[in-house]
């Protein structure tokens, strides 16, 4: 009655993307659309304009709060804070703590530490507008023990940014794939291949709705380009 799924026009995809429903309902389509966006400046500009239009909507809701609210807020602010759910931490703290942990646990030297911090910074920068940010440090295992990097996840806009160093080129017909172990599921989050010098800096939509619990671990595996729904290769980098 309400319509059946069919091929979507470019305009449909753009509107779904701008509304955020493409990322929520179809992360893979969102990822493809982002690849298109990266190549099409006119489309990118159109998306930016529509986002700005939507971003104006809250101004139509401006409404005088009840008079007592100001006093209530100032009184509460003057009272000692209740600590619940642990302190909130800033991305800068996350980066510093993650890097310090890496240094302590893996004995990273100063140069590696600086590189690690740079990877964190790049992941943050790749997510241009983070609203709700989780940050993970990736560490290579086995043959990829020199690889390391960082993943930032913006749960509000449902996007992830990945920055990795020292990642060898994937064999022909294979791609690196990021997985999140969340709840009892292993959820594919996105795929990538390193550029020159074994470096990855990329971002993509992530299927936040598919995470049935907190993210316990992130994995990177090598997978066939057919992208199987579950990991088939060994964990090459891990976080968490």
Partner 1 sequence: MHPPDSSDSRPANLRAGGDVELFRSIKGGQLAALGTLYDRFGGLVYGLALAILTNPQEAEDLTQEVFLSLFRNCTYDPTRGAPSSYLITLTRSRAIDRLRAKGRAAKLMQRWGQSRVVETSPVTPMESASINECSQVVRDALEKLSPNYRRVLEMSYFKELSQREIAEKLGTPLGTVKSWVRRGLSELKETLQEYVG
Residue environment code for 5-23, b if the CB has 16+ CB neighbours within 10 A, otherwise e:
eeeeeeeebbebbbebebb
To partner 1, the closest distance from the beta carbon of 51 in angstroms equals 8
The answer to whether the beta carbons of residues 147 and 239 sit under 8 Å apart is no
Give yes or no for a contact between 24 and 158, defined as CB atoms under 8 angstroms apart. Answer: yes
Q: How far is the CB of 152 from partner 1 (least distance, A)?
A: 10
Q: How many CB atoms lie within 10 A of CB 55?
A: 9
Judging by beta carbons within 10 Å of its beta carbon (0-12, 13-18, 19+), is residue 36 exposed, middle or buried?
A: middle
What's the full length of the chain, in residues?
Answer: 240
What is the closest distance, in whole angstroms, from the C-beta atom of residue 115 to partner 1 in the complex? 23
Cβ closest to partner 1, residue 66 vs residue 107 = 66
**Bridge partners (DSSP) listed for residue 151:** 136, 162
Minimum CB separation of residue 219 from partner 1 in Å reads 19
- As a whole number of Å, the CA-based R_g of the chain is 21
Distances (CA, A) of 61 to 25, 55, 192: 27, 12, 41
Q: Which is nearer to partner 1, 1 or 196 (CB)?
A: 1
Burial of 111 (0-12, 13-18, 19+ CB in 10 A): exposed
Query: Which residues pair with residue 222 across a beta bridge?
Result: 176
List contacts with partner 1 (CB under 8 A). Answer: 1-3, 11-12, 15-16, 18-21, 24-25, 48-50, 52-66, 69-70, 72-74, 76-78, 81, 85-91, 94, 128-134, 155-156, 208-209, 211-214
Closest Cα to residue 101, out of 125, 86, 90, 117?
Answer: 117
- CB-nearer residue toward partner 1: 7 or 85: 85
Give me the least distance between CB of 134 and partner 1, in Å please. Answer: 6
Question: Which residue, 130 or 149, has its beta carbon nearer to partner 1?
Answer: 130
62 vs 229 by CB, closer to partner 1: 62
Q: Which is nearer to partner 1, 98 or 144 (CB)?
A: 98
Min dist. Cβ of residue 101 to partner 1 (A): 15
Residue 175 Cβ, how far from partner 1 at the closest point, in Å? 28
Pick 90 or 226: Cβ nearer partner 1: 90
């Amino acid at each position: 009655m309400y319509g059946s799924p069919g091929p979507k026009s470019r305009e449909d995809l753009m509107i779904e993307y701008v509304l955020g429903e493409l990322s929520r309902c179809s992360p893979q389509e969102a990822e493809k659309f982002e690849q298109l966006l990266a190549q099409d400046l006119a489309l990118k500009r159109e998306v930016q304009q529509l986002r700005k239009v939507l971003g104006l909507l809250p101004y139509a809701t401006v409404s005088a709060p009840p008079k007592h609210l100001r006093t209530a807020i100032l009184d509460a602010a003057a009272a000692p804070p209740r600590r619940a759910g642990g302190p909130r931490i800033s991305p800068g703290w996350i980066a510093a703590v993650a890097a310090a942990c890496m240094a302590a646990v893996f004995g990273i030297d100063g140069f590696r530490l600086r590189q690690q911090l740079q990877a964190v910074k790049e992941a943050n920068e790749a997510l241009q507008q983070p609203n709700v940010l989780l940050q993970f440090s990736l560490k290579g295992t086995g043959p990829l023990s020199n690889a390391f990097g960082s993943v930032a996840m913006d749960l509000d806009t449902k996007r992830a940014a990945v920055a990795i160093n020292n990642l060898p080129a994937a064999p022909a017909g294979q791609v690196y794939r990021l997985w999140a172990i969340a709840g009892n599921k292993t959820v594919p989050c996105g795929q990538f291949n390193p550029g020159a010098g074994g470096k990855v800096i990329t971002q993509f939509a992530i299927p936040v709705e598919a995470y049935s619990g907190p993210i316990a671990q992130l994995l990177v595996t090598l997978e066939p380009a057919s992208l199987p729904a579950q990991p088939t290769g060994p964990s090459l980098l891990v976080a968490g």
